[in-house]
Each structure stands twice: as C-alpha cells, then as structure tokens.
Amino acid sequence: MELTSPSMTTTQPSELAPSSYPSLRQAWWLIIVLFLWQIPLSIPIGALTYFSKENDWTLYGLPELVIYVVAFVLTIRYGLRKRGSSQLALAPVNAAAFPVVAIGTVTLGLLIEPLTSILPTPSWMQRLLEDIFTKDLIWSAVLAAPIVEEILLRGIILDGFLKRYSPTKAIVWSAAIFGIMHLNPVQSVGAFILGLALGWLYYRTRSLWLCIFLHFVNNSVGSLGLLFEENLDMSRNYTRQWVGSDPLYIGVLIGAALITFGCYLLLNRLLPARTPAPQPE
C-alpha cells in the first residue's frame, strides 16, 4: 500500500484539499454512520444466529465480530472516499519504540484503572457491561479493534484534524470522539486518556503502526481477566484487589507514574516530530 506523504498542507480552511477531510462536524457524522451501519447488519446476522444450532457459528461471539468489523470497514471505505484518497499512513517507525510503548501502555493502564473504578455505575449499566465483557469479546477487542478503530480514528479522523487544526486541538478532539463512541462512562474516561496517547504517537510518527500496537497491548492486558472469570467487571479495581494492601498499591501507582513518564521522555527522543505544526483554523 502506498504511504502518505509526511508533508502537510498549509492552505486556508476555505481552500482545504480533499485530504484534509474530515472537519470536526464531518468526524461526528462518520461516527453516526458507523452506528447506522450496525442496524441493517444486525438483522440478517441476528436471524442467522437465531436459527443456528447452539455452539456452532455463534461460538466465540462470531456474529458480533462480523457486525463490528463489517460496520467499521464500510465506514472506513466511506471516509476514504470522502477524503478523496485511499492512502493510509503506514510509514516505518523506529523499532526501538515498540518495547517502550508496550511498557508505557501497561503502566498507563494501571494509572487509569482507579479513575474508572470510582465512577458511579448504575445497576442497569453494570448488568449491561457484564453481558458485553465476556470471553466472546476477545476476538473483537484484541484482534479487530486495534486495526479498524485506529484506521478510522487516527488514520482518517486525526489525520484530517492535524491538517485543519492545531496539534493540541486535533489530538484532544480525536480523543474525545474516541471516548464518547464507547457509549458508557466507565470505558469513555479510559478511552479518552488512551486516545490522547494514541493521538500523540500518530502526531509524532504520522504512522499507524505504533498506534495499532499500543491499542493491541492495552486490549490484550485488559482482557487477561477473562482467562480467570467469565465476565469482566469494568468498574472494579482488579489491581488493588490483587495487591491487597493500600500502602503497597499506592507504591504501585507511584512506580507506574514514574515509568509512564520515563517512557514518554524516551519516546520523545526516539520519535522526533516528522512534520511542522499545521496552520490552525
């Protein structure tokens, strides 16, 4: 696949090239399109699931995986067509950054966990989350999400934002969209923080590779609990429970914060910014 050029347009908003798609309003419409696609897709898949024998193709959440992936692929195709270019940013990146990203992702997750665990979760939402976060989730969360979500959120939406807005505005808004599209406060807070890290990586590299890798590591670590339980309680602080001691847990958080900051400093050296700042809108 042909790689996008690291150069950046500096035209005024009224003269923006097709590759500067989407604007903020157009990005929200892309997310609406994503959810709209799931409605017609759910009808035949749901019917096939209903008439299928138990434990055949419905095993491991395959119907949900098909709906999820196809909806994203159709939305990505729509976004690329509107942008006027099918090119994706897949330029090579410094290989030394991958282990640093992996370590930083794990420690960042430790810092996010207490934030999500203190959020008030209504009983109806808790039951819904328990129904969603089962072992069937692994296929979508670990394998599909890092690819399709990064292509849409960073490869299309953030890529266009960086050509229209200042880096800070582009990264924050793309992270906000990433958080809100998860549709529940427990996930949205963590997704927003993660989206800031993903946005910064994309801004520094203009490549999806590290973004996909970070997303994969985060979702893989987050799904580890499914090896021991049938459902994941997203509002529960598993690390605090496993550590068993408040002073020790505070030490874990302090260590995680120091390591995360160290990873940021190291990545700042390994990944020099490849493009100048765009002209803000």
- Torsion sign over Cα 136, 139, 140, 145: positive
**What span, in angstroms and rounded, lies between the C-alpha atoms of 21 and 199?**
17
Cβ neighbours of 54 (radius 10 Å): 6
Which pLDDT does position 9 carry in this prediction? 39
Question: For residue 3, which phi and psi values (nearest 5 degrees)?
Answer: -90, 150
Greatest Cα pair distance, the chain, in angstroms, is 59
Hey, what's the torsion of the CAs at 213, 253, 243, 212, to 10 degrees?
-10
Alpha-carbon 222 to chain mean position = 13
Query: What is the spatial distance between Cα 65 and Cα 147, in angstroms, rounded to a whole number?
Result: 13
> Among 87, 114, 93, 265, which residue's Cα sits nearest to residue 190?
114
First-residue to last-residue Cα distance in the chain: 31
108 contacts 194 by C-beta, under 8 angstroms? yes
**Peptide bond preceding 22 in cis form (omega within 30 of 0):** yes
Omega prior to 272 cis, within 30 of 0: no
Q: Six-digit token pair at 192?
A: 């927003």
pLDDT given for residue 132 in this prediction = 59
Q: What pLDDT does residue 206 have?
A: 95
Contacts of residue 204, Cβ cutoff 8 Å, sequence gap at least 6: 267, 271, 272, 273, 274
- pLDDT of 170 reads 98
Please tell me the distance from the alpha carbon of residue 19 to that of residue 155, in angstroms, as a whole number.
11
Residue 175: per-residue pLDDT: 98
At a CB cut-off of 8 Å and minimum separation 6, what does 273 contact? 203, 204
pLDDT in tens, the chain (281 residues): 333 434 333 334 334 444 689 999 999 999 999 999 988 888 876 676 666 655 554 455 677 788 889 999 999 999 999 999 989 999 999 999 999 999 999 999 999 999 888 877 666 666 666 655 666 667 677 889 999 999 999 999 999 999 999 999 999 999 999 999 988 777 899 999 999 999 999 999 999 999 999 999 998 888 776 666 666 666 677 788 888 888 999 999 999 999 999 999 999 999 987 755 454 55
**List of residues 6+ apart from 112 with CB closer than 8 A:** 189, 190, 193, 194
Report the Cα 160 to chain-centroid distance in Å.
17
pTM: 0.84
